[in-house]
């Protein structure tokens, strides 16, 4: 991660196909295309990769979450349970529909704590959104059971975990809907882009219409198409889809590299006293996009991060003080800093954030270090890096 590190001739060829025929829009202009339909081809390729019936490409991972929820009927006043550890896009996408994000604690998987989810359910709850952060997954068996019990949607945000699997199934394909991001720093990239996947035909048709101004895409005359529903513009372009079409053909190559390097980190760092590896649920296989581990407490975690910086180890983070990924620094959400008036339903629904604390999340995020795994490293560089990290941790913990 990310796929741009290994751009090559295949990506250039796909992009040049689009530039040669001059049609950058995914819909229409049939006669000019010379048979090139990159978005359609990528959707088919992703159906195979994700072992799912339907894929709808959109403009971003954020758009994918909004489109997925809208396709299943989530909207004004509905509550969507989501984790405290994610990217700010998660609550942005929910609020864009007028729905209310209900943040709950995580556990040692770095994903939703099933017990916290159960406690957060109210008559307004419509969906549970598990975010598969940093290449792995939450306890999907427990979360699915909760959703089945309460008749709730299970939505997988697998934007950071493409290639991971649970009981042999690709992450994203297990819930009612799955969401992916193909932005510039993902394992496979389109530059910008995303996808909604589902086995539910109704949700797929809704996503197809909603993401393109409500067009029904029936016939070959775009100007004559009907608009069964209101929609918005969340389309992907042919240029972006072309890059993704090349990258998805290399997904197994990328995942193989990531997992090889992840195992080196795990084998080396697990030997260090005081280091605990992230919990991967039984049946789960990580994508290898990140290596995650825990230290005894926040103080030594901060010292190790500082030691990494001084020792030239980059791309490792403790998210406790991070502005993007953890609730602790999301003041703009807590204080509802918006350019436009927030609806009364959302304002009322978010009042809980004024006093809510997330001690369980603090316990895990405060002790976690997450390290990006680069595709462009060599095996020797990874082992050298792992050895250096282990030595720095030992020095900090023994002082």
Which residues does the annotation mark as catalytic? 186
Burial of 232 (0-12, 13-18, 19+ CB in 10 A): middle
Helix (H) or strand (E) holding 56: strand 54-58
From CA 358, how far away is CA 56, in angstroms rounded?
A: 35
Is residue 335 classed as helix, strand or coil in its secondary structure?
coil
From CA 340, how far away is CA 269, in angstroms rounded?
A: 48
In terms of Cα–Cα distance, which of 216, 196, 244 is closest to 27? 216
Q: Classify the phi-psi angles of 264: left when phi > 0, otherwise alpha if psi is within -120 to 50, otherwise beta.
A: alpha
395 phi/psi in degrees, rounded to 5: -60, -45
- Provide Rg for the chain, Cα atoms: 21
337 phi/psi in degrees, rounded to 5: -80, 105
From CA 31, how far away is CA 128, in angstroms rounded?
A: 44
CB neighbour list of residue 193: distance below 8 Å, 6 or more residues apart: 57, 58, 59, 60, 181, 182, 183, 236, 240, 241, 244
Tokens 């005081």 appear where?
Answer: 274
Please report, to the nearest 10 degrees, the dihedral formed by the alpha carbons of residues 391, 393, 394, 398 taken in order.
150
HSE of 189 in the Cβ direction (CA atoms, 13 Å)? 16
Tokens 């994000």 appear where?
Answer: 101
* CB burial readout 57-76, b (16+ within 10 A) else e: bbbbbbbbbbbbbbbbebee
Tokens encoding 253:
């190559």
Helix (H) or strand (E) holding 81: strand 79-83
């Amino acid at each position: 991660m990310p796929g741009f590190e290994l751009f090559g001739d295949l990506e250039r060829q796909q992009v040049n196909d689009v530039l040669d025929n001059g049609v950058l829009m995914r819909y229409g202009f049939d006669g000019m295309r010379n048979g090139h339909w990159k978005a359609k081809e990528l959707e088919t390729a992703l159906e195979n990769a994700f072992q799912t019936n339907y894929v709808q490409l959109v403009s971003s991972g954020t758009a994918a979450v909004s489109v997925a929820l809208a396709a299943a009927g989530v909207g004004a006043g509905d509550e969507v349970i989501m984790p405290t550890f994610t990217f700010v896009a998660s609550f942005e996408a929910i609020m864009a529909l007028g729905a209310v994000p209900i943040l709950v604690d995580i556990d040692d998987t770095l994903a939703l704590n099933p017990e916290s989810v159960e406690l957060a359910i109210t008559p307004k709850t419509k969906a549970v959104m598990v975010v598969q952060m940093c290449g792995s997954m939450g306890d999907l068996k427990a979360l699915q059971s909760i959703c089945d019990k309460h008749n709730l949607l299970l939505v997988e945000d697998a934007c950071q975990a493409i290639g991971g699997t649970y009981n042999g199934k690709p992450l994203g394909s297990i819930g009612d809907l799955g969401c992916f991001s193909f932005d510039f720093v993902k394992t496979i990239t389109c530059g910008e882009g995303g996808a909604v996947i589902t086995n539910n035909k109704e949700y797929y048709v809704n996503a197809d219409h909603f993401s393109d101004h409500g067009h029904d895409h029936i016939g070959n005359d775009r100007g004559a198409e009907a608009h069964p529903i209101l929609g918005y513009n969340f389309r992907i372009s042919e240029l972006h889809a072309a890059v993704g079409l090349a990258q998805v053909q290399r997904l197994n190559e990328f995942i193989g590299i990531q997992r090889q390097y992840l195992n080196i980190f795990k084998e080396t760092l697990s030997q260090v006293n005081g280091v605990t590896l992230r919990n991967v649920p039984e049946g789960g296989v990580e994508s290898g996009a990140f290596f995650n581990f825990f230290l005894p407490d926040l103080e030594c975690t901060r010292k190790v991060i500082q030691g990494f910086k001084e020792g030239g180890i980059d791309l490792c983070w403790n998210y406790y003080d991070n502005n993007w990924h953890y609730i602790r620094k999301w003041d703009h959400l807590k204080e509802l800093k918006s350019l436009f008036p927030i609806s009364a339903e959302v304002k009322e629904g978010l009042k809980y954030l004024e006093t809510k604390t997330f001690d369980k999340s603090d316990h895990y995020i405060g002790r976690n270090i997450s390290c990006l795994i680069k595709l462009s490293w060599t095996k020797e560089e990874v082992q050298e890096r792992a050895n250096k990290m282990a030595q720095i941790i030992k020095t900090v913990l023994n002082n």
